[in-house]
Amino acid sequence: MDRDVVDQAHEIYFNVIVAHGDGDEPWTPEQRSELRRALQLLEPADAAGDLGPEGIQLMASLCLELGNDEREEHVLRAGVDAFPGAPGLHADLGAAYANLGRWADAISHLAAAVVLGADDADERWAMTASQLVDALTECGDQERAEAVRTWARGQVRDEAAGQWLEDDDDDDDDDDASPSPE
């Protein structure tokens, strides 16, 4: 993999995000131009088969930011085909399918990401497990969703990761609790 190209493209992407801030405004023409430039840096390495999972994920993210959901999906599917053991690629493809409402595909790839990444149950892994729980819930499989949540809670090693797996209903119950008489 051409590490320099991926690093350059990542730096451009990061700088655009920082300049954009966390507002809901669309990208400016200059920011879109920079995102396209980052994508164009990656394309020759992708065509040559020289991108690893991280570069493929970056390329897919750039496609998504530029509004090309179909290309994002294509890039991620090709990445999963090339690197079937890369949990991040499965996680991103699962999230893309969830955004498209393709729940069976989303569950398949999110589950693969969770299983493949279980030995490194960090915050990113917990976020993916939470997305799997949400996808299962969306499909009406609450029992399996809760089983996954319970199992995943036992895998995480720190509080930040564990927060991704909090049951939203637990928070609601706390808000509805009446004060106890003293």
DSSP string, 144-161: HHHHHHHHHHHH--SHHH
Q: Is residue 62 part of a domain?
A: yes
Q: Is residue 162 part of a domain?
A: yes
Q: Same domain, yes or no, for 73 and 114?
A: no
Tokens 């729980």 locate to 133
Q: Is residue 91 part of a domain?
A: no
Domain end among 52, 83, 114: 83
CATH number at residue 25: 1.25.40
Tokens 């451009």 locate to 12
What is the radius of gyration, based on Cα positions, of the chain?
19
Domain that holds residue 146: 104-174
Q: Is residue 180 part of a domain?
A: no
Domain end among 48, 83, 118: 83
CA distance 57 to 88: 8
Tokens 């997305």 locate to 131
Q: Same domain, yes or no, for 135 and 62?
A: no
Q: Same domain, yes or no, for 8 and 73?
A: yes
- Taking the chain (182 residues) in consecutive chunks of 10 residues, what is each chunk's mean pLDDT? 86 92 84 97 95 97 94 97 98 95 97 96 95 97 97 93 81 43 42
Q: Is residue 120 part of a domain?
A: yes
In this structure, what token pair is assigned to residue 179? 């004060």
Q: Same domain, yes or no, for 14 and 53?
A: yes
pLDDT of residue 2: 61
Q: Same domain, yes or no, for 16 and 64?
A: yes
pLDDT of residue 174: 43
Residues whose CB is less than 8 angstroms from the CB of residue 100 and which lie 6 or more positions away in sequence, other chains included: 69, 73
Q: Same domain, yes or no, for 71 and 29?
A: yes
Number of folded domains that form the chain: 2
Q: Same domain, yes or no, for 68 and 127?
A: no
Q: Same domain, yes or no, for 79 and 14?
A: yes
Q: Same domain, yes or no, for 1 and 68?
A: yes
Count CA atoms closer than 13 A to 88's CA, side-chain side.
Answer: 13
Q: Is residue 57 part of a domain?
A: yes
Q: Same domain, yes or no, for 62 and 108?
A: no
